[in-house]
Amino acid sequence: MRRAIAAAAAVLLAAVGCAQADAEPTPAAAFDEAAFAALWAEAEAGALDYQLGGAYEPGDGVTVVVRDREAAPAGVAIDVCYVNGFQTQPGELDWWLSEHPELLLRGGDGEPVVDPAWPDERILDTSTAAARDAVAGVVGGWIDGCADAGYEAVELDNLDSWTRADGLDAEGNLALAALLTARAHSAGIAVAQKNALEAGDAGPAAGFDLVVTEECARFDECDDYGALYERHLAVEYEGELPEGGFAAVCERADQPALTVLRDLDLTTPDDPAHVVERC
């Protein structure tokens, strides 16, 4: 989810200390950085597809595919598993209310806090160590499922939920992020930060290995993300491109090699609205 940027990098770096304090000691990480670097070198010579709206056969030359955690991996060089780490997914509120009602952030009226930009999602509580540990237990199970299914990496969405809800802060979200990156590394897979440029250096410090961005060209943020991460997957959306369109995006010096243009609803090829183009 694309969000507006509010600079707070110095505060967020301090928050990483809190994140590390929250984390329990873990066994030696199973994640093999050298092996993932070799996969990335192979993948970077190919192309990206972003398939959150439904899985389909990747096109020729596609080496990186992002799919929802409930879909099977595509079998390309790097399969990335999408997990909503900090909010509920659309259609899952009843499950959270039944199984983990205490993990939903509550407003002054006692009701779960709604993401104002995505009214079918509720924000998870990261305000205490106990809440973070419990959320990490739930989301960590999904991360393990991604690894068991054969994914090479996981994308954690909504790191920046603290910017949209009273009662949360950067420290709490980064503390949860550290727990989740440790869980992924223990499972042997890489972890991608999703958007959240405002995290600054605190993102890599929390354990993220790469970044997935939406509309970094439109908002002139690609270079800033590139200063934080060498590994960058970029998604741009039809109808929301800067002047010159996608051709101009691909000519930018700071545009990642793995950039894809998609329709806003991320439809499958059988939908007339389907759009997928690559640099």
In a domain, 3, yes or no: no
More confident residue, 29 or 100: 100
Retrieve residue 135's tokens. Answer: 């959320």
Q: Do the Cβ atoms of 190 and 152 come closer than 8 Å?
A: yes
pLDDT in tens, 220-277: 999 999 999 999 999 999 998 989 999 999 999 999 999 999 999 999 999 999 999 9
State the Cα–Cα distance between residues 199 and 218, nearest whole angstrom: 19
Mean pLDDT of 191-210: 98
Task: Say how many residues make up the chain.
Answer: 279
Mean pLDDT of 69-90: 98
Q: What is the pLDDT of residue 8?
A: 43
Residue 42 predicted with pLDDT over 70? yes
Retrieve residue 150's tokens. Answer: 């054969």
In a domain, 4, yes or no: no
More confident residue, 2 or 204: 204
In a domain, 156, yes or no: yes
State the Cα–Cα distance between residues 155 and 279, nearest whole angstrom: 22
Q: Report the range of poorest mean pLDDT among 14-18, 41-45, 53-57, 62-66.
A: 14-18
Q: What is the pLDDT of residue 264?
A: 97
Q: Which domain holds residue 185?
A: 9-278
Q: What is the pLDDT of residue 261?
A: 99
State the Cα–Cα distance between residues 159 and 206, nearest whole angstrom: 11
Retrieve residue 79's tokens. Answer: 């399969």
CATH number at residue 223: 3.20.20.70
In a domain, 22, yes or no: yes
Residue 14 predicted with pLDDT over 60? no
Element (H, E) at 27: none
In a domain, 85, yes or no: yes
State the Cα–Cα distance between residues 156 and 212, nearest whole angstrom: 9
Total domain count, the chain: 1
pLDDT in tens, 158-199: 999 999 999 999 999 999 999 999 999 999 999 999 999 999
Residue 97 predicted with pLDDT over 60? yes
Q: What is the pLDDT of residue 3?
A: 39
In a domain, 2, yes or no: no
State the Cα–Cα distance between residues 132 and 175, nearest whole angstrom: 8
Residue 28 predicted with pLDDT over 50? no
Sign of CA dihedral 219, 223, 225, 226: positive
Mean pLDDT of 114-142: 98
Retrieve residue 235's tokens. Answer: 């998604």
Percent helix, percent strand, percent coil in the chain, to nearest 5? 35, 20, 40
Q: Report the range of poorest mean pLDDT among 3-12, 43-52, 79-88, 209-218.
A: 3-12
Retrieve residue 243's tokens. Answer: 């002047």
For the chain, what is the radius of gyration of the CA atoms?
Answer: 18
Q: Residue 58's closest CA among 39, 41, 70, 72?
A: 72
Q: Do the Cβ atoms of 219 and 252 come closer than 8 Å?
A: no
Retrieve residue 239's tokens. Answer: 């109808």
* Neighbour-count burial of 174, counting CB atoms closer than 10 A to its CB (0-12 exposed, 13-18 middle, 19+ buried): buried
In a domain, 138, yes or no: yes
Q: What percent of the chain has pLDDT over 90?
A: 89
Q: What is the pLDDT of residue 174?
A: 98
Q: Do the Cβ atoms of 184 and 190 come closer than 8 Å?
A: yes
With bands split at pLDDT 50, 70 and 90, how would you rate the model's confidence at 23?
very low
